[in-house]
Structure 1
Amino acid sequence: MNFFHPRKGRCSMEEMIAEIQSYIGQDKKAEYKVVIGTDSQTRERETLFVTAIIIQRIGKGAIFFYMKKSHRAMRDLRYRIYRETEYSLQCVELLKKNGFFDFSVNIPMEIHLDVGQQGETRKLIQEVVGWVTSVGYTAKIKPESYAASAVADRFTK
């Protein structure tokens, strides 16, 4: 699985986790938050999904990584939003499996969903928020879901 750092480029899971550990180690007294969100963009032949992993040093900046997956074009909005949610949750599991939370157990985590009260996605809010909260995570929707609607979105273009 390849991750990308906006300045350093491609990196492995191990390199990403080491980079995050180093970032947290630079200011151990700061408060941190892990934020994960996925956005997608459908083109003629494919749908590109981008999942962003943000480590926010509350009030003092953040670092982030992202990964991309591509599928044949998905035209159904509900299916795409479900897939975005699934990819965000899979990312959490992948991080867990690779020891990410061994060093960051007390860091709160949010899943950012690319749904909001405006537009067609409003019909899906209850479903995807319910899914995320039922597996034990905090869910955020637009306008608070910046990991999906701003960071991941930037890399789907």
Structure 2
Amino acid sequence: MKNYSATHYSFQNLQENRMSFDQVFEHIMTFMQSQPCGNYRLMVGTDSQVHHSQTTFITGIVILNEGNGVWACIRKVVVPRKMLHLHERISYELSLSEEIVSLFTEERKNKLVDIVLPYLYQGATFTMEGHIDIGAGEKNKTRKFVKEMVARMEAMGVEPKIKPDAFVASSYANRYTK
């Protein structure tokens, strides 16, 4: 039986197009196995841009080995209308991130943890973060959604990050929404 995620999702980066989630996961495993005693942060975040007749959403998946490189890819979703209501757009961004986070099942997360486990006493680490393109600053229009969106990410067992720490959403994904 084919894994639903293997056929349903399509990811890309500068090296490859049309990767399944299974292929993305293999890239992440290979990246981590190349230096199992690293400090890994697996980050997922989504940003959006309203265009003339559509809204483009980009979800980034980034595996960062602190100070020792990164592997990343994106998934693009286009909604064929202008999503002008900020809460709707932010909520949909988070839904797309949640969708990808949910593909990292307990079994998959355990496989990633198992890579660094033998090296914990040498300083190896692994964390998973959900980057949300919102900020709590007084001038930030999204500040009133922080509690709600952070709670949603926490409910998935993922460490939420908001601006300025949500760089996967606010920088990496943002670059591809234009």
- Quick check: TM above 0.5? yes
Which piece of structure 1 moves more, 15-24 or 142-151? 15-24
Give the aligned partner of residue 46 of structure 2.
38
4+ long deviations beyond 4 Å? none
TM-score w.r.t. the length of structure 2 is 0.81
Q: Does 1:141 align with 2:162?
A: yes
Structure 1: unaligned runs, 5 residues or longer: none
Give the aligned partner of residue 2 of structure 1.
10
Aligned pairs for 1:63-142 within 5 A: 63-71=71-79, 72-96=81-105, 100-105=108-113, 107-116=126-135, 117=137, 118-142=139-163
Q: Encode CA deviations 1:56-103: one digit per residue, 9 max, x unaligned.
A: 101212110110111122110011001111111110112328x53241
Which has the greater radius of gyration? 2
Identity of aligned residues (%): 31
Q: Encode CA deviations 1:92-122: one digit per residue, 9 max, x unaligned.
A: 112328x532411363101000001242111
Once residues 50 and 153 of structure 2 are traced to their aligned partners in structure 1, the CA distance between those partners, rounded to angstroms, is 24
Give the aligned partner of residue 4 of structure 2.
none
TM-score w.r.t. the length of structure 1 is 0.92
Once residues 81 and 152 of structure 1 are traced to their aligned partners in structure 2, the CA distance between those partners, rounded to angstroms, is 14
Q: Encode CA deviations 1:25-72: one digit per residue, 9 max, x unaligned.
A: 111111211000000011121111110000010121211011011112
Q: Does 1:14 align with 2:25?
A: no
Once residues 26 and 148 of structure 2 are traced to their aligned partners in structure 1, the CA distance between those partners, rounded to angstroms, is 35
Matched length: 156
Once residues 144 and 77 of structure 2 are traced to their aligned partners in structure 1, the CA distance between those partners, rounded to angstroms, is 25
Task: Measure how far apart 1:20 and its partner are.
Answer: 1.4
The residue type paired with residue 92 of structure 1 is V
